[in-house]
A and B are shown apart, each in its own frame.
Chain A
Amino acid sequence: MTTIREKKSAQGFFLFCALTLQEVFRIRSNRHVSSMVILRQILFTGYEALPLISFLALAIGGLVILQGTNLLAGFGQGIWVHIVLVTVVVNELSGILTALVVVARSGTAISTELGNMRVRREIDLIESFGISPIGYLVLSRVIGVVVAMVILVLYFNFVAVLGGWLFSRIFNQLEFQAFMSDFLSVLKLSHVLSSLLKSISFGVIISILSTYHGMRVGHASTEVPQRTIRAVVSSIFVVILVDMVITWLFWIFR
């Protein structure tokens, strides 16, 4: 019984993904009604998350430099602390931490909003107009979250490097030019590509899973928090899994 239910659920999810993909090719036909939804999503997911991302990035960048300097200086390798910054922050932490912030803020908001729209029959209303709810509600949120996610990850990297320099300046009196010169000498194109690929993938994963669970709510308001929890748990699980796969692929083809 459990197997059948799981299979049905998996089939439903892949059908949902296929319908969303189908709507990507029809985006021109409904962009006039969904462009405002996309802009609002970028504003909510991206712009409104900037203070939290700034704080996290500044602290993480600084702490990595501080801990790295302490650790590597013991071996007389303090100069290589920038490698730690590139490897840990640009390659891994920027994507993962930004994804966690986006899951906590936007993933939950999307799932709850769509779930409540289902309960209040607002999605039925959209369908009664002949407008595809996937094109109008889902695709616009997917695009909004992906765009915001890419911007946030780039911003995280930028602020984290700034935080790293700030701590280097405080504790090691390192000049900005010298810090950036060291940093850029270890930063490779593959690091930037990996970070970019992760941000796009995480954006797609979070938005698709959140919208899917939101749209799956039936007619009972009690289903909304249950579906939101599932959206959060599955998003975190899949984001970590995909992060490992992308890192592994870049490691193989390095």
Chain B
Amino acid sequence: MKIEFINVSSKEGLRNLTLELKLNKVVLLRDPSENLSRAILNAIVGLDEIWGGEIRIDDTGINDFLQKEPQIRSFGYIFDEGIMLSNLSLMENLMLPLRWLNPFLNENETRELIDSWMRTFGLDLDISQRPVCYHAGELKMLSFVRTLLIAPKVLMIDDPYYMLNKPERENLFRNLRALTSSYPMLIASLDDDFGDGFADQIIDLSDFRDRFQRP
């Protein structure tokens, strides 16, 4: 997948950004400020309001591209804070995007897949509980499970290590390395683990410092 930012300005602070991302393998956005990298990820999934310029995916305008198939099938966005909807149980959180794609999906059909991914990520949670019952690191790991259940085309990960303790970081790194063979990834991180030896392409966004202006 090729994503092009052509002279893009946005509400969140992008200023005439021109950038090309070839997401065939793992691309790392290294941004000392972390603002520009987040703004780029947000713009791709439509969380930002584009004021000028154009975002093109595989030579198609982003709106036309996302009309062809549900956004969630294309981009699995994992927020730095691993957000869960607090008014839903963990199971309902995991099922929400799945039900959005398939209204007739039965919980029992996916239960095996959910348990399998949870074991992979070292999670032993009672998913009938609400998110408030668990600590931030566990919820962040569960947000990876939620995204992988959808099997999107690209994994977009904002600061993978944020809020995780050392064992959780090691576990996540091991799993992400295993997933590189099956998923193209766009990762925004300053952690060295995701640099040489992990990412196939590293884009240093400090060269684009003037392309972001705090709104």
Given contacts A130-B66, A130-B71, contact A122 B100 (CB under 8 A): no
Is A128 on the interface with B (CB-CB < 8 A)? yes
Residue-wise, chain B 85-129 has the 8 Å CB interface mask toward A (1 for contact) of 111000010001101100100000000000000000000000000
Q: Closest residue of chain A to B97, judged by CB?
A: A129
Q: Closest residue of chain A to B42, judged by CB?
A: A124
Asked if B85 contacts A130 (CB within 8 A), the reply is no
Asked if A127 contacts B46 (CB within 8 A), the reply is yes
Is A125 on the interface with B (CB-CB < 8 A)? yes
Asked if A125 contacts B72 (CB within 8 A), the reply is no
Q: Which residues of B contact A190 (CB under 8 A)?
A: none
Q: Which residues of B contact A124 (CB under 8 A)?
A: 42, 47, 79, 83
Asked if A33 contacts B70 (CB within 8 A), the reply is no
Q: Closest residue of chain A to B95, judged by CB?
A: A33
In whole Å, how far is B9's beta carbon from the nearest beta carbon of chain A?
Answer: 20
Q: Which residues of B contact A126 (CB under 8 A)?
A: 85
Majority secondary structure, A binding face: helix
Number of B residues contacting the other chain (C-beta, 8 Å)? 23
Residues of chain A from 114 to 164 with CB closer than 8 A to chain B in the complex: 116-117, 120-122, 124-131
Asked if B47 contacts A128 (CB within 8 A), the reply is yes
Is A30 on the interface with B (CB-CB < 8 A)? yes
Q: Closest residue of chain B to A124, judged by CB?
A: B47
Given contacts A124-B47, A129-B71, contact A32 B99 (CB under 8 A): yes
Give the distance in Å from the alpha carbon of A32 to the alpha carbon of B97 in the complex: 11
Residues of chain A from 70 to 128 with CB closer than 8 A to chain B in the complex: 113, 116-117, 120-122, 124-128
Is B164 on the interface with A (CB-CB < 8 A)? no
Number of A residues contacting the other chain (C-beta, 8 Å)? 18
Given contacts A120-B83, A122-B86, contact A131 B47 (CB under 8 A): no
Asked if A125 contacts B83 (CB within 8 A), the reply is yes
In whole Å, how far is B107's beta carbon from the nearest beta carbon of chain A?
Answer: 13
Give the distance in Å from the alpha carbon of A35 to the alpha carbon of B38 in the complex: 33
Q: Which residues of B contact A32 (CB under 8 A)?
A: 99-100, 103
Give the distance in Å from the alpha carbon of A130 to the alpha carbon of B68 in the complex: 13
Given contacts A121-B79, A121-B83, A122-B85, contact A129 B47 (CB under 8 A): no
Give the distance in Å from the alpha carbon of A2 to the alpha carbon of B87 in the complex: 37
Asked if B100 contacts A125 (CB within 8 A), the reply is no
Given contacts A113-B87, A122-B85, contact A128 B77 (CB under 8 A): yes
Asked if A33 contacts B79 (CB within 8 A), the reply is no
Asked if A129 contacts B83 (CB within 8 A), the reply is no
Q: Which residues of A contact B45 (CB under 8 A)?
A: 127-128
Give the distance in Å from the alpha carbon of A130 to the alpha carbon of B77 in the complex: 11
In whole Å, how far is B84's beta carbon from the nearest beta carbon of chain A?
Answer: 8
Is B54 on the interface with A (CB-CB < 8 A)? no
Residue-wise, chain B 45-75 has the 8 Å CB interface mask toward A (1 for contact) of 1110000000000000000001000111001
In whole Å, how far is B184's beta carbon from the nearest beta carbon of chain A?
Answer: 17
Is B81 on the interface with A (CB-CB < 8 A)? yes
Q: Which residues of A contact B47 (CB under 8 A)?
A: 124, 127-128
Report, nearest first, the 9 A-B pairs whose CB atoms are least far apart: A130-B71, A32-B103, A128-B77, A125-B83, A128-B45, A129-B97, A129-B72, A130-B72, A122-B85
A sample of 19 cross-chain residue pairs with beta-carbon separation below 8 angstroms, ordered by A number, consists of A33-B100, A33-B103, A36-B92, A113-B87, A121-B81, A122-B84, A122-B85, A124-B83, A127-B45, A128-B71, A128-B72, A128-B77, A128-B79, A129-B71, A130-B46, A130-B66, A130-B71, A131-B97, A131-B100
* A residues with CB within 8 A of B: 30, 32-33, 36, 113, 116-117, 120-122, 124-131
* B residues with CB within 8 A of A: 42, 45-47, 66, 70-72, 75, 77, 79, 81, 83-87, 92, 96-97, 99-100, 103
Given A33-B100, A129-B72, 14 additional A-B pairs, CB 8 A: A30-B100, A117-B86, A121-B79, A121-B81, A128-B71, A128-B72, A128-B75, A129-B71, A129-B96, A130-B66, A130-B71, A130-B72, A130-B100, A131-B97
